[in-house]
Homo-oligomer: A and B are copies of this chain.
Amino acid sequence: MKKELFPNAYSDKLFEQVYDYLLERIRRGEWKAHDKLPSVRVLAAEFEVHRLTVFKAYQLLKENNKVYVKDKSGYYVQPGSVLPPAVQQDPIVSAYVHESHLSEIHQVEAVYQFSKALLDPNLLPNRYFSEYVKKVFDLYPKVLGTYSTTQGDAELREALSRYFTDRYRFDLTKDEILITSGSQEAIDLIARVLVKPRDVVLLERPTYSPAIDVFRRQGASIIPIEITPDGYCLEQIEEMMQNHKPRLFYMNPTFHNPTGYTVPAEQRKRLVDLAAEYHCLLVEDDPCPDIYFGKAPPSPFFAYDTSGYVIYIRSFSKYISPGLSIAMVACRQGIMNYLIKAKSLSDNGTPLLNQKIFLHYFFSERMQQHMEKLRTALAIRKDIMEEELSGTGWQWRSPAGGFNLWIKLPESVLMDELLGKSMEQSITFVPGTICDPLRELNSWIRMSYSYLNEQQLREGLRRFVSLFRELFGE
């Protein structure tokens, strides 16, 4: 049956429509965990369909762990299998809105923000930056009076295509680059253009939490792919591609968020071949390839791709200029045309000013030299975090780059309590569950060492560890 499930949306079967409908009602919270669902007979009458159709829909819900059967007495909602109800219904707002769980934690004001995988603004060359901006206004005196094209400033795209060709041997023209307002917009556009309800999407487990939210909102069927310090299990991926015909695999293979793991070069080549063989797009999100502590990471998947199956998202916000929100998507013309059309309706082009400032700032010699200082500063902060946590017995793999420690706490930890009490002490972190497409990983947390300065790091971590001991003993 699985095979019929995902041919393409044109040939939706009736039982799949019933499936969608029931799942939607569960998601909206009409039926809650452990609620008994209406009988096959009742639903068949309600929908004017054959009972077998409802039965097939229920079978599929069961297979996908959305419902369970108890004592042969009927179907019940599986707890935790779907998102919690999208807040209480507003009388005049009834469309279904998915929440971005990460953004909620970020809204908490806190002194010790270990939840922010962002660069401390003090590590950026701010004075120098201001000088550059003035230069931009001298160069383009009418920049504020001018709209960008939808695809993005041609001068910037030209410079980026040269940069990626020189540095990573990308085969990339300026027409194959789209400038977006940050990587979040890039993910959203890709999902909107490529993913229809019930399309299968592979996501790493754990992964970048807002990506889960975006693909869920599109109605995708999400299959988790475990990521480990050694990369993926390619046999598992091939099996998934073969059996489930995924539309795409959204991945973050270099200094992965939240784990910090990097997929080795030899796997990159093989996975690109698998993608072409099974017609599964690889959406490669690459927010911090320059933040390495030892040697530079392997080239992006995009460099290995000759068949046009890799869509490369490169963000420049995290460690270059968060206040500009500049990112780019590189892909081949077929997909590019669709992305440009989607962007024309979503914001019709990233502001020109931001693109021009970014262009002159990023490609300046000073900025490129500054990377070295950044790496050193972040390596020191990472070391501090590891030192402060060294006596705890908690487990993590020391990352070779990026912004985060992905930490396994003792299984017995009560995460809600830990998060609540931490916030009371002005400490935030990211609970692992929200990075997990399955919403498990209850005893893992992500702690970022990039946003706080050395003294804040030490203070905050000492408070956090002592709070933990207070709550859960040694």
- With A10-B28, A92-B334, A348-B103 known as contacts, the answer to whether A144 contacts B124 (CB < 8 A) is yes
Quick check: A122 and B134 within 8 Å, CB to CB?
no
Which A275-329 residues sit within 8 Å CB-CB of chain B?
Answer: 279, 281, 308-309, 317, 321-325
Number of copies of chain A assembled together: 2
**Interface residue A55 (Cβ < 8 Å from any Cβ of B):** no
**Interface residue A259 (Cβ < 8 Å from any Cβ of B):** no
Quick check: B345 and A213 within 8 Å, CB to CB?
yes
> Considering residues A141, A182, A210, which has the most beta carbons from chain B within 10 angstroms of its beta carbon?
A182
A194 to chain B: which residues have CB within 8 Å? 93, 95
> Considering residues A90, A100, A361, which has the most beta carbons from chain B within 10 angstroms of its beta carbon?
A100
A8 to B14, CA, bound (A): 20
Quick check: B93 and A334 within 8 Å, CB to CB?
yes
Quick check: B122 and A92 within 8 Å, CB to CB?
no
Quick check: A90 and B121 within 8 Å, CB to CB?
no
In the complex, which range does the number of interface residues on chain A fall in? 35 or more
- With A92-B309, A337-B87, A345-B98 known as contacts, the answer to whether A323 contacts B147 (CB < 8 A) is yes
A349 to chain B: which residues have CB within 8 Å? 325
**Interface residue A64 (Cβ < 8 Å from any Cβ of B):** no
A325 to chain B: which residues have CB within 8 Å? 147, 347, 349-351
**Interface residue A107 (Cβ < 8 Å from any Cβ of B):** yes
A210 to chain B: which residues have CB within 8 Å? 344-345, 348
**Interface residue A12 (Cβ < 8 Å from any Cβ of B):** yes
Q: Of B322, B338, B361, which contacts A146 at CB under 8 A?
A: B322
A257 to chain B: which residues have CB within 8 Å? none
Known: A94-B196, A129-B137, A346-B346. 6 other contacts (CB 8 A): A14-B47, A48-B49, A48-B50, A122-B142, A124-B144, A323-B352
Query: Would you list 12 pairs from A and B whose C-beta atoms are within 8 A, ordered by A residue?
Result: A93-B193, A93-B334, A93-B338, A95-B338, A97-B342, A121-B142, A122-B142, A122-B145, A146-B322, A147-B317, A181-B351, A325-B351
